[in-house]
Structure 1
Amino acid sequence: MEFKLPRGTTDILPEEVAIWQYIEGEIKELCHRFNYLELRTPMFEHTELFRRGVGETTDVVEKEMYTFLDKGDRSLTLRPEGTAGLVRSYVENKMHGLPQQPVKLYYVGPMFRYERPQAGRNRQFTQFGVEAIGAKDASIDAEVIAMAMEFYKKLGLQGMRLEINSVGCPTCRPKHKEALIAHLKDRRDELPEEDRSRLERNPLRVLDSKHPVTQELTKGAPSILDYLCDDCGEHFEQLQSYLTAMSIPFHVNPRMVRGLDYYTQTAFEIIIEGFGAIGTVCGGGRYNGLVQQIGGENVPGIGFGLGIERVILALKTQKVDIPIKSSIDCYLVALGDEAKAKGVSLVQEWRLAGLSVDQDYLSRNMKPQLKSADRLQATFVAILGSNELEQEIVVLKRMDTGEQIELAYAEALDRMLKEIKKED
């Protein structure tokens, strides 16, 4: 039997892992600058958490979740997104009582959705997200948006467009829903079956439809911005003023509602121009009722989520130069059994001193060993043969200049440490 990857998954090979590690390092540095702390939650939760938190009428809950019964006949689901689990942890660990508020957290980890695989979108994907829980002021909305924009900027990506909207709150949204239903009432039968169902259960989601017929029928639909209550309207105005003060350009898109039911007030997306049919690379917004819905205090929150695979695809599409060091410091060439025995101890000593060192394990002669050193882009080659062994020295060769010198073992180590440190 031939075993292959399950559809919608991928192996991340060593040469690709270096890119992931670079991005993860940039995430940690960014979150440190904005004072967000990492939280790690389980990869599966009780299914009801996502039904309640994400929303019964969302595509995620209706179609895309990996749900199973465990041996105790409990319904569990592989996490399809990061916010619900993080909020569950916030509630369960009583973080609302922490002295430092709002609580600012981030996560990086695998998520799972059963959907059609496409470029940059797998059934198992890795999501980076941040959440700020405990503040209703629009300044924290602006901070979260600024953080997302800065992430793409620091990676060197170009052509980003920020779109923002307010999706209102339980006070003002019902009036907009009534107007939206009235607008589509006479043409309801023209809607695709899926969107007819949405119109009955969650009308606002119709505006999020990707079906061309629905998009055409909703072109002149009432705007949520015309129905905002005073609180939501003022909040949205403040957000725009803060973004302007931070010199972050934005475009107001009244049709954007996002795909999850927990959003209130602020919703936003970051789109990269020229990045295929689906240019959205980041989405987020406010969820003022979610914490209470999951069993906590009535505290507001806001966050965003983005897929690392989409980030890597964007970097490759724009041919961004990624500063990854793929070389090693030294390759030890040992010739003969006695030299090999001494070489094993030298390699161990040099590694413990902080150098990245490799050696030959196939008992080859000098030429193929030097080829290995070249493939590994070694800065130095240390050659140890019978003559060198008698004199307790190595021939240390600098690969980029060809300069070589005979040095005692300890001197060779000191020379490499000094030159590598100088270049770093």
Structure 2
Amino acid sequence: MDRPATSDPNLSSAPQPTASSRGGRCAARRARLAQAPFRELLLAEPYRWFFPLAVLIGIAAVLLWPAFYQHWIDYQPKTSHARLMIQGFIGGFAFGFLGTAIPKVLNTHRFFFGELATFATAYLASSGFHLANRTVAGDAFFLIALVTFMISAGTRAALRKDLPPPGFLLVGAGMLCGISGTVLFLSGHALEFNATREQWAGLLLYQGFMLLPLIGIGAFLFPRFFKTDNKQIFPSNPYPTEQWTRRAKLAGTAAALIILSFFLEVEGIVRWGAWLRAATCFAYLASETGFWKRSEATGVLPAALRTGLICLIIAALAAGWVQANRIALDHILYIGGLGLIALVVGTRVLYGHAGRTKAMGQWLIPLCVVFGLILIAMVLRVTADFTPQVKTAHYLYSALVWAAATTVWAIAMAPLLIQRRDP
């Protein structure tokens, strides 16, 4: 019989778990890592170095705009900026989080040094080439990073001793979107230009690669922010149960509807495609996390996460309602939605692994500053294209404010990168 949704040890005062339970395994793992050499910690928890890399790449990506307007670089950075933010900033947080989480949720061995070195090297090479405005090479190395990561994750899935949360099927679908979008972009350089192919590539890489993993991970992680029932937690079992399969089908339906929304946009039915995407994200996250309900959760992290989710929904609705200045409106999604949520989740990971979960319910001043600045950066960037007389100034201010926000975040989080959680 499946364990009730409220039995998450992070949410209730459940009895001490046995060694064979998820909680027991986590306790045993913490005890081992508390005494392990720091090198072992870096391999077992690659978020400790992927998160800083992602932040550095993100700052470099936004500062390309001031560099362009100051004539410090001789190329227009529109494409490089977009690739670095998606593949570098969001990709770095994805690699760090999933590289840490996948072995745990599958109850299998961590990624080996050679595996981590392979896709980390490809990830860094991709970002370096994009900074140099060499898009083809950057995309090619990012494809290598994604494929090698998927192979490593797939190997562990085949050897699993436990099933992942059902929502993680959306993570796999998102990774496949990233691979497909990157392949389509690469093929566009080798073949004759095709507008349909380019549109599919953009939707798959710039939205599918981010949206699908976000709502998949969110179904499992966000209830911990909002103190709601977690429907993604099941007893340890390497084989699907009826209840697990039911929630997996729900995740698969959400993935299919989001891909369908891309198809509608490519076919010119832009409004209904965007609204279908908004409805799917809202319905799935509302069903799995209850983020829209009032709860006992307090502090800056639940507030920022709820704000990010609202921005995500507003961005999709606005894209369907206002056809002009689509790129500007998309920055509601990229800055206020996905970018903000990435930092919130990163903060949760850092505090959780440092054993400072109580801090996540507090109104921490540095984080209030960070998340406030990110929203200011979003407003500046979105309004830039609607105010031609100050467009360039808004581009610059938005970039500088976002860079300042992530710098403050990095400084505030830096001590947690080397802190271990007591067993």
TM-score w.r.t. the length of structure 2 is 0.24
Larger Rg computed on CA atoms: 1
Question: With structure 1 as the length reference, what TM-score do the two structures score?
Answer: 0.24
Which one has a larger percent strand, Structure 1 or Structure 2? 1
